[in-house]
Structure 1
Amino acid sequence: MPAQNRGPSVRGLAGFNAASPAEAEALLLSCCHSPRWAERVAAHRPYPTVDALLAAADEAGYDLSRADLDGALAAESSAPPHPDAPPAARTALRAAHAAYESSFGHAFVISLEGVRPGEHLDQVLAGIRSRLGNEPEEERVIAADELRRLARVRLAFRLSEGLTRRHSEA
């Protein structure tokens, strides 16, 4: 699962709602590198609940133009294989990522939400292999959906991360 850079430290939904537009957009860009998406989600603050924020993020993701989606996908990077993975698995994963990027022009994106950590490598390899046979437009639709799912997971994590840090500091 490709990771984005960490955004600014915004603590929970209240912190997100109270953050400056630049801070909120920076946090959002750490989840999905689409300025239009980040601006749109930030502009509709305050959100009454995290679920409402995540729903707005999903909706904004469906409205990405082709150029917005291309930019967001271009900013993704392939996750390196886990260092504890067997050498053959690391080699297979690197080769699969390279084949995918060569075919589609961007990193392979997949949300591993709900997949046990021990199954991530197998899930990524299976996903790449199954999606390599897709036509470019079909894969664009799938990649856009996976990017929306990733943005949602990243955003929920970023918001909870600030709260967890605050509680552990108390």
Structure 2
Amino acid sequence: MPADEAERTLLACCGSSHWARRIAAHRPYPDLDALLAASDEAAYDLTPADVTEALACESLTLLPDGAYSAAHTALSAAHAAYESRFGHVFVICLDDTPAEESPDLVLTEISARLSNDPDKELTLAAEELRRLTRGRLTRSPL
């Protein structure tokens, strides 16, 4: 696919235009492992501005269908507190977490990370973005 189309597709995996351009520019990759390694390397090189750009493209972590309303209320309040403190949505990779455990994990992690200073939290959010990106690339039709 043309580079600009590849970049648009890659932006669905990670919202950093710098990351998407870099990954698209080094195609083709011999296999998924090479793509994931390149993705990790590019993610580790993101500047705080690149991470902020990518975070702006993320949405709230959704609860699984059938979650009870108290969980929705608690998570909504936690997400609001997090966004108020840090100015971006809370991101966490739940790829290896059973769906029934994800609400508790998200609430626990938001609560724990609310005490971080902004620089430390940006570093943690960047790592979660890297993990999310790996999972998205694995499931992507690239």
TM-score category (smaller protein): over 0.9
Q: Indicate yes or no: 2:124 matched with 1:139.
A: no
2:63 touches 2:102 (CA, 8 Å); kept in 1?
Answer: no
1:83 Cα deviation (Å)? 4.2
Correspondence for 2:71: 89
Counterpart-to-counterpart distance in 1, 2:103 and 2:9: 28
Correspondence for 1:43: 25
Correspondence for 1:33: 15
Give the TM-score normalised by the residue count of structure 1: 0.80
CA RMSD of aligned residues (A): 1.2
1:115 paired residue among 74, 79, 97: 97
1:52 Cα deviation (Å)? 0.3
* Runs of at least 4 residues off by over 4 Å: none
Counterpart-to-counterpart distance in 2, 1:40 and 1:132: 32
Deviations 1:76-132 (A, max 9, x none): 121343341111111001000000000100000000121111111111111101101
Name the aligned partner's letter for residue 56 of structure 1: A
Larger radius of gyration, structure 1 or 2?
Answer: 1
Name the aligned partner's letter for residue 132 of structure 2: L
Counterpart-to-counterpart distance in 1, 2:61 and 2:50: 22
2:140 paired residue among 155, 158, 165: 158
Identity of aligned residues (%): 55
2:92 touches 2:106 (CA, 8 Å); kept in 1?
Answer: yes
Q: Indicate yes or no: 2:51 matched with 1:69.
A: yes
Counterpart-to-counterpart distance in 2, 1:107 and 1:66: 15
Counterpart-to-counterpart distance in 1, 2:36 and 2:65: 32
Counterpart-to-counterpart distance in 1, 2:87 and 2:33: 33
Correspondence for 2:82: 100
What are the ranges of 5 or more consecutive residues in structure 2 without an aligned counterpart? Answer: none
Name the aligned partner's letter for residue 123 of structure 1: L
